[in-house]
Structure 1
Amino acid sequence: MPCTTLSQFPRLWRGPLLLGAAALCLVGGPVGAQVYRQIDANGRVTFSDKPPTSQGSGAQPVPSNAAPSAANGLAQLPYELRQVAQRYPVTLYTRSECQPCDAGRNLLTTRGVPYTERTVNTPEDNAALSRQTGQSGLPMLTIGSQRLEGFLDSEWSQYLDAAGYPASSQLPSGYRQPAAAPLVAVAPAPAAVPAPAAASAPAAPPSAPAPVQGPTPDNPAGIRF
């Protein structure tokens, strides 16, 4: 794995960085700009970095390297930690059944780093990740504009130190980590428009009363039943 520059973080020692092989999970498809998934009238799916120009296009923004919002508890963080999280937001990209992903998540949780998790489990997720990063391995961690592919405890810890994240958790007891969300937000299928009710057949006209029969040889009294 190529060595990533540390110039983003002025507090970090700038000497040579010797890294071992990072643990990663490869994905079938290569994070920064906003990506939109759009479905046209024929059901064809396309991706673009430009928002849709008309209403009802079916485009959904792809979450990308976003800091936890105040609704997710950012406002509840201690002042210094909140400043770091706003300046260098952390996003973790994972997939299911990935042991390195679990190890990376455990490191962030144990250290008390507020982060956003995006899952990459579908072909649409893989395509979006490829377009955003050009990378092919998970887990992937972004700290501000820095991108780390594969899990290596010492490397992740070094970058978190350089960004200013505390070595031990300072999260308040009531803090709740936001739930993981897919990288590509899929819009719900539009509700089916009910077909117009079939026109009911016209009612049959009332039948004419049977003619009154008079006396006959077989029925001299003219009685009808």
Structure 2
Amino acid sequence: MKHSKILLVIALLCLAGTAGAEVYRWTDKSGKVHYSDTPPTETEAQTRRLYDSSIEQEKLPYETRRAASRFPLVLLTGEACGEPCKLARDYLGKRKAPFSEKLLKTQEEIDAYKRQLGKAELSVPTLLVGSRVLDGFEPGAWGNELNLAGYPK
């Protein structure tokens, strides 16, 4: 009995040492997803930051963090987007939904996203909710999709 308590304490101490360790998730050039405790090298992975949001992740409610981990939001904008992109940013900010914004500056970037999303045309703003693509800013459609993804109202 005494030995089992000692073993339990030792096991818990071992686990506590790994609780703060970082885990990296990355996709290689062939599309395979990897998980590791070391970051990938530039040649190993296509790096992509999911969150460049001004909202700090740690301070968000649990429901929002959970939705963001399952269905990350990426807002695609263009340099000449103007008012629609501003409305889209404001809408996501009002919902306190953490998102990253990708400003598409060159034709190569636009073409790359078209290929990635399987689209012949790409309009901005476009919202990516996980793998779901919402072209153009439509508050009703965006709200429904955020609700379905589990983002709080």
Q: TM-score, normalized by length of structure 2?
A: 0.62
Structure 1 ranges of 4+ moved more than 6 A = none
Query: Is structure 2 residue 132 aligned with structure 1 residue 149?
Result: no
Cα deviation, residue 149, structure 1: 0.8
Q: Give the superposed CA RMSD.
A: 3.0
Which consecutive unaligned segments of at least 5 residues does structure 1 have? 1-33, 36-48, 168-225
Alignment of 1:80-119 (within 5 A): 80-98=63-81, 99-119=83-103
Relative to total residues, which structure has the larger strand share, 1 or 2? 2
**Change in 2 beyond 3 A, CA 1:152/1:50:** same
Higher RCO, Cα 8 Å, sep 6+: 1
Query: Is structure 2 residue 121 aligned with structure 1 residue 129?
Result: no
* Count of residues in correspondence between the two structures: 114
Alpha carbons 1:67, 1:85 under 8 Å: kept: no
Cα deviation, residue 60, structure 1: 8.4
**Change in 2 beyond 3 A, CA 1:62/1:140:** farther
Sequence identity, in percent?
32
Alignment of 1:1-225 (within 5 A): 49-50=29-30, 61=46, 63=48, 67-68=50-51, 73-98=56-81, 99-133=83-117, 134=119, 135-167=121-153
Cα deviation, residue 164, structure 1: 1.5
The letter for the 2-side match of 1:61 is Q
The letter for the 1-side match of 2:129 is I
Cα deviation, residue 62, structure 1: 6.1
**Change in 2 beyond 3 A, CA 1:137/1:75:** same
**Change in 2 beyond 3 A, CA 1:124/1:158:** same
Cα deviation, residue 83, structure 1: 1.0
- Secondary structure class of the residue paired with 2:88: helix
Q: TM-score, normalized by length of structure 1?
A: 0.44
Cα deviation, residue 159, structure 1: 0.8
Cα deviation, residue 93, structure 1: 0.4
Relative to total residues, which structure has the larger helix share, 1 or 2? 2
Cα deviation, residue 73, structure 1: 2.9
Larger Cα Rg: Structure 1 or Structure 2? Answer: 1
